[in-house]
Every structure is written in structure tokens, then in C-alpha cells.
Structure 1
């Protein structure tokens, strides 16, 4: 009798978790470089003794195993801003902030008061030498070649650090569009980067699809809730009959 409620509650909990993920996707539908996420479900079995049988039965509970990212590239949007950069195909820009090196596909960069190229959080865009990219005060032209080589009117000033990972799903999310490599994950240089200057990669989230998911999740949550209410009502009636017989 209790197993029905436990299984339903496990499903309801997993639906709530999925609801949070879908809501987060919708909140970042316009966030450059954001990749949509989805919940990965699994089930786990518990052996239990039935009141009417000496045999052990298996009860399956729902459990969210984690989240997986949609690694599909988002659409490239031309902005005409030379500080906006996008990566076609694979790779991540390397940036460095107060808590170390991080990785992102959000290429909306700017120049701070010191001439350092930074992202919206103030994290420095790194070169393949592991140093922040600087533009001198007397330099007005900022050019980035397809392979990530950066030049000004005075010549080449560096090459962007663009890396890839063997298992991108194992990267840890740091904010909406930034990642951290866990211990044991090696960042290797992309052999042939494809940088598009004057463009940004948009979120790969399809708003219509996510809204449809949201509606379906709300309905499923309501159905499970109704089942719990009916089970509670059935249990109450059973207990009432039993108490009268006693």
C-alpha cells in the first residue's frame, strides 16, 4: 500500500527537478553560448515483502541521474562588432578570473580600462601562451583570423587559447555559459580552430520546444498528484473498514 505512494512521490520529485531544468533553459534562451540541458532519468529497484506472499517483489522508483547538455552548436548571429567572436564547430575560449581558468563559447568580449580583453564578468581572454590578451592604447584595429591569430595595425599580438575536451559532458557548469574542468580532465588545443569575428553564438535552446515540455511536465505533475490523492482516499477507506471490523 505504501509502495504506491513512494513510487508516485519519487516520480513527482523527478518531475519537479525536470521542471527546474526546463525553466532554466527558458530563462537562458537569449544567453549567448548557452547550451540547453535535460535531465537524465534512471530507476532503482528495491526488494520488498508482500503482505500476501513470502516471495520478494521488486519495486521500481524513479530517480534523476543528472543533467546532460545539448552539444549542438547554436546559430551564429552577425553583430558587426569586431570584439564579438564565435567558434564554429568545436572548442572553447579560455578565460581567467579570480578563481582560475574557465572555458566558454560565449564570445561577447570588450576592452577594459587597462586595454585587457575581457568578457562580461571581467574575466580575461587568454592567449595560447596562457597570458591575458592586451591591446595597446595606440592600437585601434582589432583583427582575429580564422585560426585565432590576433593582430592590430602594428602586427600580430598573440593567438587565442582555444581548447577542447575528450568528454564535454563531464565539464562542470559555472554560471549559465561557463565551464570548469574537473581534476583529470585535460584541455587540449583545437588543432584547426574556426573563429568567426563580428559574430556571436546564440543559445541553442528552442523556446517553443521548451514551452511544450513545460506544459507536458505540469500536466504530468498534476496527474501524479491526483493519483496520490486517490491512493490516500483508498487507504483511508480501507482503514475505516478495518477499524469497524475490529
Structure 2
């Protein structure tokens, strides 16, 4: 019975983690370039239950297997491309192909599909957090407000070729999220030929209806485990207060 309490508790913890992931997805519904995440559960190894004493005192009778609960195995990211939203803002860029923009942060290179960039006071193209967008030759800039970006990522400004936006390809399972739309790669990245659209951004790929269904499923699982814990607690109370008197 005590084991049952622990098993139900693992179910509560797994449901809580899943609800946090769903909540994070919903919060980032309007975050450009955000990729939906899902939490997958894994069962703990089952335990073989045996009963001592069958027809003979020394006989061992196999009762069967008993589950030991569940846990969250890992977070998986959906790499489905979000819809493109036209903004007509010169510094907004969207990737219409697989791959990621490269930005330089104090902690090193990071990767993103959030194309909300802006020009700083020195004409350098940066993210909203101040991280510089990287080209083949390094940080991109200085640029005038009239720069243009071709479909292959080539940047032209005042009739001169400035640089080409650096795009890399990374397997989705090699990405680790940092913040809302930045990622770290846990393996070497490969250069990719990116297709860039200026004056647009990629929207979040979160499916709101799907997240609402997932949230209801998680809530039902949480409530079911709560009910089981309450039932087992009542049974323990009777075992202690009533059966113990006999």
C-alpha cells in the first residue's frame, strides 16, 4: 500500500511537469520563432511480486508485475515551421527553409529562428537582447536603414555587397533551449543554404487547440492520481485504526 502512494506521487510529479511545459508553450504563443515542446513520460522498471507459501510452506507463488510509477523522460521540440507574418519592417527576417540564424552572445554562439532584429546606434544588426547577428564575415554591419536582403541571405547596402547571413543546420535532438527562442547545440553545426525573406518573421508553431486538449488530459491524470492517493490514505487509516484493534 505504501508503494502505491509512491507510485501515485510519481504520477503527480510527471503531470505537474507536463502542465508546466504546456503553460510555457501557451505563454510563448506570440513569441516569434518559438518551437513547441512536449514532455514524454517513461515508466520505471516493473517489480516482480511473489507470494511466499503456497500448498507448501517453502513454495513461492508468482503474483505478477507491479508498476513503480512514471517520470518525464525528456522534452522534445517540434521542428515544424511556423507561419510567416509579413511586417514590412526592413530589419525583420524570416527563414523559409530549415536552419537557424547564428547570433553571438557573451556565452558564445547561439541559434534562433526569431527574426525580430534591429539596428543599434552603430548600425549593427542585433536581436532585441542586443546579440549581434552573424554573417559569413562576422557581425553584420554597419548598415544604413535602407539595406536589402536577397533570398539567399546576401546583404546589399548602398549598392555594395556587405555580407551574407550565416545559416546553420542542426538536428532537432541536438538542440537545447536557452530562454524563449535561443538554442545551444550539443554537437558541431553544419553550414546550410538558407532561404531568407525580408520584412517578415516566423510566428510560433504552437498549436493552441492541441495545447488545450493536452492540458485537459494532464489535469485528468493529475486528478486521478490525487484520487488514488486519497483512497490509499483512507485504507491505511482503517488498517491502523480498525484492523489494528483486532
Scaled by the length of structure 1, what TM-score is found? 0.91
Q: What is the rounded CA distance, in whole Å, between the counterparts of 2:234 and 2:96 in structure 1? A: 57
> Size of the alignment, in residue pairs?
238
Q: What is the rounded CA distance, in whole Å, between the counterparts of 1:236 and 1:51 in structure 2? A: 24
Contact 1:45 1:59 in 2 (8 A): no
Q: What is the rounded CA distance, in whole Å, between the counterparts of 1:187 and 1:159 in structure 2? A: 18
Alignment counterpart, residue 121 of structure 2, candidates 110, 113, 121:
113
Q: What is the rounded CA distance, in whole Å, between the counterparts of 1:92 and 1:120 in structure 2? A: 17
Structure 2 match to 1:6: 6
User: More strand per residue: 1 or 2?
Assistant: 2
CA distances 1:89-108 after superposition (whole Å, capped 9, x unpaired): 30000000111110000001
Contact 1:47 1:56 in 2 (8 A): no
Structure 2 match to 1:211: 212
Structure 2 match to 1:141: 146
Structure 1 match to 2:81: 73
Contact 1:3 1:59 in 2 (8 A): no
Q: What is the rounded CA distance, in whole Å, between the counterparts of 1:102 and 1:140 in structure 2? A: 25
Unaligned ranges ≥5, structure 1: none
Which runs of at least 4 in structure 1 moved beyond 3 Å after TM superposition?
48-58
Structure 1 vs Structure 2 CA RMSD: 1.7
CA distances 1:114-164 after superposition (whole Å, capped 9, x unpaired): 1110001100000113x100124xx34211111111111231100011000
Contact 1:149 1:156 in 2 (8 A): yes
Q: What is the rounded CA distance, in whole Å, between the counterparts of 1:48 and 1:20 in structure 2? A: 33
Pairing of 1:48-127 with structure 2 (within 5 A) = 49-50=49-50, 54=60, 55=62, 57-60=64-67, 61-127=69-135
Contact 2:104 2:134 in 1 (8 A): yes
CA deviation after TM superposition for structure 1 residue 217, in Å: 1.7
- Judged with a 3 Å threshold, the aligned counterparts in structure 2 of structure 1 residues 20 and 120 are, in CA distance, closer, same or farther, namely same
Q: What is the rounded CA distance, in whole Å, between the counterparts of 1:218 and 1:95 in structure 2? A: 38
SS of residue paired to 1:126: strand
Q: What is the rounded CA distance, in whole Å, between the counterparts of 2:240 and 2:65 in structure 1? A: 25
Pairing of 1:89-238 with structure 2 (within 5 A) = 89-129=97-137, 131-136=138-143, 139-165=144-170, 167-182=171-186, 185-190=187-192, 192-238=193-239
CA distances 1:48-85 after superposition (whole Å, capped 9, x unpaired): 65565644853322111110011100000000011100
Q: What is the rounded CA distance, in whole Å, between the counterparts of 2:8 and 2:203 in structure 1? A: 38
SS of residue paired to 1:45: coil
Scaled by the length of structure 2, what TM-score is found? 0.91
CA deviation after TM superposition for structure 1 residue 10, in Å: 1.0
